[in-house]
Amino acid sequence: MKSHPVLRDGHQIKLLQGGADFFPELIRALDAARSHIQLETYIFDFHGDGALVAAALERAGRRGVRVWVVVDGVGTPKLKEEWRTRFDSAGVEWRVYSPLGTLGLLIPSRWRRLHRKLCVVDGHVAFCGGINILDDLYDPQHGTLKSPRLDFAVCAAGALVQQVQEATTQLWWRMQAVRHVRQQNFPEAFSSFRAAGLHMPWIHDTRQAHGDTWVAKAGLLLRDNLLHRGQIEKAYRRAIGLARHDIVIANAYFLPGRKLRQALVHAAQRGVRVRLLLQGRYEYFMQYHAARPVYRQLLEAGVEIYEYSESFLHAKVAVIDAHHDRPWATVGSSNLDPFSLLLAREANVVVADTFFAKHLRDGLEHAMASKSQRIMPQSLLQRSQFQRAMDWTAFGLMRLAIWLTGNRY
């Protein structure tokens, strides 16, 4: 399996920063849908903008558009009764990927989650990124936020729309097949498995994308547990290895494996400026503390680390050599940690386009300059013994979790 996608010319790609850009663009596309909508998300929350998206899906279903929605069983374990009734009445079909069951996450095989955020409308436009269907100023664990979380997505027209449609269609029919097997309806299960293996026809719509778009070379990267186990990590390592000037990575949950850490260290050692924008606010024990033990190696190699403190950082993006002749950028759902790179279904768009790369880099540089704190080597030495113990405990638990899944990282 190739470690990088086939990048095709002729895409119209629009960078969307945060819910303020993403949700209006998504709702416009849903309201313009004529034939079908396929949406996948880890979290579907019905506060604020999430309710507006749900209402747009309901409107689409009522006017006869086929609507398929898939959510993850951890991120969205159940649908609110009000919305279940409204969706059923409108004909919106809703599925939960890998419900947890009685023992929940005590079973390591259930750590394989649907984490990608994809939507395709009419075979005309696709969305991919890190943004859940979740209002930017609301968090299910922390309530109302003072500032919006930092996150990105893209809206795309072009050949990769077909890739997104095939990916979402295959998952839908595989889930249908599993459902029929559990019901012991084996003829329907066989039909669904056959449908999952077919290349579904691409219903191409000739309407033109609107807004600030440009012609770009782009492609889709997937990570799953079948044919695309290492595609996203290998693409990162390849791009880092080819970098000649600068690398900027923003990642919410950052615990790269040995090969990826070495790629960053080697880039810094050969004179590439490497900057990481990481989570500065405490969200989850494991993800927050487990990253700190890898900071020292990176800082010693000359990597610059910034922690975002304005709000929660949820971005999973990177941009390399934006101002030079071989720009590379990615926007998607994949964190650089073992849960994303070894277990979850993820999706990233890769873009080789100077204008797009500069636009993304400008947004990241603004966040680093005005909303983040640079981590200096001496600050690690000033951490208390208790903090260091927490760091290494989290790091050890993360390594144990990886071992329990049977993976090496």
Mean of all residue pLDDT scores within the chain: 90
Cα distance between residue 96 and residue 92, in whole Å: 13
273 and 148 in one domain? no
Predicted pLDDT at 209: 41
- Model confidence at 192, pLDDT cuts 50, 70, 90, reads low
- Model confidence at 405, pLDDT cuts 50, 70, 90, reads confident
Cα distance between residue 400 and residue 350, in whole Å: 32
71 and 166 in one domain? yes
Going by C-alpha positions, the residue among 269, 227, 286, 250 that lies closest to residue 366 is 250
- Pair of tokens at residue 304: 């610059």
Length of the chain as a residue count: 409
Cα distance between residue 349 and residue 219, in whole Å: 6
237 and 175 in one domain? no
pLDDT above 60: residue 181: no
Share of the chain above pLDDT 90, in %: 73
- Pair of tokens at residue 140: 């299910």
Q: For residue 100, is it within any domain? A: yes
pLDDT above 50: residue 208: no
103 and 55 in one domain? yes
Tens digits of residue pLDDT in 235-281? 999 999 999 999 999 999 999 999 999 999 999 999 999 999 999 98
Q: What are phi and psi of 36, to 5 degrees?
A: -155, 150
Domain count, the chain: 2
Q: For residue 179, is it within any domain? A: yes
Structural domain range at position 119 = 8-197
Q: For residue 14, is it within any domain? A: yes
